[in-house]
Amino acid sequence: MMTNSGIKGNKKNLSPLKILLVTYSAYPRIGGRSTYITLLKKKLEEQGHTVDLLAHKPGLNEIYLMGQKSVDKEEIRLEIEQKVRHLHQEHYPHLSPWIRWRELERYIFEEALMRFDLSDYDLVHTQDIFSSLICPRIISNKPIIASFHNCKVEEWKVNQGRETKSEQELEYIASEEYLSVLRPQKVIVPSRWLKNAFVKLGVPETQCTVIPYGLEIEAYNQKLENHVPHFKEKQKPIILVPARMVPIKGHTFLFQALERLKEEDEPFECWLAGNGVLEEHLRQEAQERQIDDRIHFLGGRHDIPTLLAEADMMVLPTLHDTFPFVVMEAQAAGVPVISTAVGGVVEMIAHGKTGLLGPPGDAHFLYQAIKSLIHDPKLRHEISINSRHHAERCWNVSLMIEKTVDVYQQSMESWREEPPKYRIRGATFDLDHELLERIPRLPPGDVYTGKIVGKIERSSHQEGRETVVHLMDISWITLQSTRPDREGYFTFENVPPGRYALMAVDGDQKISGHTVVYKDQVSIWNVRID
């Protein structure tokens, strides 16, 4: 229950709280959000607070209160899918299939949260759009604080050249994000850029508090000192690229730069740490550009500090980013960073002092920047020293936690004074009318739909194990899920043209990468499980 002692007066005397962290994402997983959640939980617990986490399991089949209870998503889907479809058809027949899918997945997550007893927490701290939309709808007796790690509206804008969305769908994305930021008592963002992006959506400026991420610098340095080298003798400068293999990370522009560097016989090796929808495409592109002998695909990694300990520079050619953890990690390691002047990155790097910044999508800049660091040891040294000092001064995890607890306290105080004005959902399921009424009521049109079919191929010792295949949009929201038949075939029906990610999981383990489906055709996706 919420405690009153220590709320008034000195903020540092805040009594221990029982805090619930909620995220739609799978946990644990590789990525900045998971890193932030892990660090936040650890540091709050060190201060004496009790912290629980509610999230998807890595296999995306269950939603669990970590270390306690879990619920099966498929059971919930069977219970509410027909009801959701009926209500959509009755009240909002004009919604596109993509919106209907996204809606259903959110309501499944909402229904899952209703299965947990959340009454004993002092506050709830959400971590994404879905959880920030949902929790205020179902929790009426405690303050809700939200952390946002990206602006999906801005990300979709960058992706619009690759991903076609209708006017209705773009408005849905904007409304979804607007309400998710507006509903909690307070919102925490890591950068001024992200705060300004939300203000542009119509969110009051006072709603958002900027608290940059932090690092455990001493523990991080210990990891660097204790690393085991991947290669006993380094022959060439190593370029580390720790980024998901998705279009928005800009790998293709880096490949153009590396192709030119190789043509000029410049020495380098490039380590790609990450996986994603473009992995096979990038392997093929590396071969076509004849740079595959210089590139090492390392897959998803949990040991970025050990890779940084060997790297001569880090390159992040991203087209959009909010406040990437890997930049902080590289600066803490004293590794010069080459990146793009996008989003919150410009708040992390001072060009020529703590890294090198250039325009997004500019292969020539990447070529020049990499070449300058290869040939100018004085510049590398200066950036390395400046970066370490910057990290020690700015990426202070203690300050991050102190400011976060301050926001908790402010939210608890304002909660008692002025409870939320929006309508709380009751025990009976209902659509989120506040969101859906904002969507343009365009007449339903003829939408071409096709199907995605594929096959899971197993080795003999893997037969009999249950696999689930997920169809996801570029926000990593699950749109459909299915189980292959006995022969391994699976099908997704009524899929409009667009780009999707496919992920197959066996239990809690991902057993495949992702693929991309383009245009209006049937696509075959084959997965081999050894």
Tokens of 249: 């990370």
Dihedral (C-alpha) 462, 457, 55, 181: value to the nearest 10 degrees? 170
Mean pLDDT of 242-261: 94
Distance separating alpha carbons of residues 253 and 360, to the nearest angstrom:
9
Q: Measuring CA to CA, how many Å separate 354 from each of 60, 332, 347, 392, 510?
A: 39, 11, 11, 12, 37
Residue 96, classed as helix, strand or coil, is: coil
Domains held by the chain: number: 3
Q: Do 174 and 42 reside in the same domain of the chain?
A: yes
Give the C-alpha separation, 4 to 235, whole Å.
62
**Average pLDDT rounded to a whole number, residues 259-273:** 96
C-alpha distance across the termini of the chain, in Å: 50
pLDDT grade for 425, boundaries at 50, 70 and 90? confident
139 shares a domain with 194: yes
Question: What CATH number has the domain bearing residue 489?
Answer: 2.60.40.10
**244 and 328 in one domain?**
yes
Judge whether 151 lies within some domain: yes
- Bigger pLDDT: 409 or 507? 409
pLDDT grade, residue 459 (50/70/90)? low
* Per-chain mean pLDDT for the chain: 86
Structural domain contains residue 380: yes
Domain co-membership, 250 together with 284: yes
Backbone dihedral angles phi then psi of residue 94, each to the nearest 5 degrees:
-85, -5
**What CA–CA distance (Å, rounded) separates 7 from 410?**
9
Question: How do residues 300-323 score in pLDDT, each as one tens digit?
Answer: 888 888 899 899 999 999 999 999
Taking the C-alpha atoms of residue 246 and residue 150, their distance in angstroms, rounded to an integer, is 16
Residues 251, 325: one domain?
Answer: yes
Cβ-in-10-Å burial (0-12, 13-18, 19+) of 110 comes to buried
Q: Looking at the domain assignment, is residue 1 inside a domain?
A: no
Q: Are 262 and 254 in contact (CB under 8 A)?
A: no
Tokens of 66: 């970590």
389 and 410 share a domain? no
- Residue 79 φ/ψ region, left for φ over 0, alpha for ψ in the -120 to 50 degree band, beta for the rest: alpha
- Strands laid side by side in the 238-242 sheet: 295-299, 269-273, 238-242, 313-316, 337-340, 356-358
* Residue 444 covered by a domain: no
Question: What is the rounded distance in angstroms from the CA atom of residue 151 to the CA atom of residue 304?
Answer: 25
**Ranges 292-301, 452-461, 491-500, 511-520, most confident:** 292-301
Q: What is the pLDDT of residue 518?
A: 41
- Which residues form the domain of 281? 219-394
Q: Is the pLDDT of residue 178 over 90?
A: yes
**Exposed (0-12), middle (13-18) or buried (19+): which is 340, by Cβ within 10 Å?**
buried
Please indicate, yes or no, if residue 473 is contained in any of the structural domains: yes
Task: Assign 231 a pLDDT band (cuts: 50, 70, 90).
Answer: low
The answer on 471 and 335 residing in a single domain is no
Q: What is the pLDDT of residue 72?
A: 94
Tell whether 426 and 351 lie within a shared domain.
no
Give the confidence band of 435 by pLDDT, cuts at 50, 70, 90: very high
My answer on whether 21 and 153 are in the same domain is yes
pLDDT tens column, 31-85: 889 999 999 999 999 999 999 999 999 888 899 999 999 999 999 999 999 999 9
Residue-level pLDDT at 149: 94
- Report pLDDT for 390: 96
Whether 344 has a pLDDT exceeding 90, the answer reads yes
The reported pLDDT for the residue numbered 5 is 35
pLDDT for position 519: 44
> Looking at the structure, do residues 374 and 503 belong to the same domain, yes or no?
no
Q: Which of 145, 60, 115 is nearest to 429 (CA)?
A: 115
Contact 494, 480 (CB under 8 A): no
**Longest CA span, the chain:** 68
Look up tokens 């929006």; give the residue.
Answer: 422
The pLDDT of residue 334 is: 94
Could you tell me the pTM of the whole model? 0.89
Predicted pLDDT at 461? 42
- Asked if pLDDT for residue 194 goes beyond 90, the answer is yes
Residue 441 lies in a domain: no
pLDDT, residue 398, reads 93
Q: Strand, helix or coil at 441?
A: coil
CB–CB of 157/248 below 8 Å?
A: no
Q: Would you state the pLDDT for residue 227?
A: 65
Q: Are residues 96 and 159 in the same domain?
A: yes
pLDDT over 70 (residue 9) = no
Domain presence at residue 2: no
Q: Which residues of 179-188 are buried (b: 16+ CB within 10 A; e: fewer)?
A: bbbbbbbbbb
Distance CA 316, CA 444 (A): 41
What's residue 505's pLDDT?
A: 79
- Size of the chain, expressed as the number of residues it contains: 530
What is the radius of gyration, based on Cα positions, of the chain? 24
Q: What is the CATH number of the domain that holds 298?
A: 3.40.50.2000
**pLDDT > 70 in the chain, percent:** 86
Q: For 12-23, what is each residue's pLDDT tens digit?
A: 557 899 999 999
Please classify residue 266 by burial: count the beta carbons closer than 10 Å to its beta carbon, then call 0-12 exposed, 13-18 middle and 19+ buried.
Answer: middle
- Do residues 457 and 528 lie in contact, with contact meaning Cβ atoms separated by under 8 Å? yes
pLDDT at position 442 is 74
Please indicate, yes or no, whether residues 16 and 119 belong to a single structural domain of this protein: yes
In a domain, 3, yes or no: no
3 state SS of 24:
strand
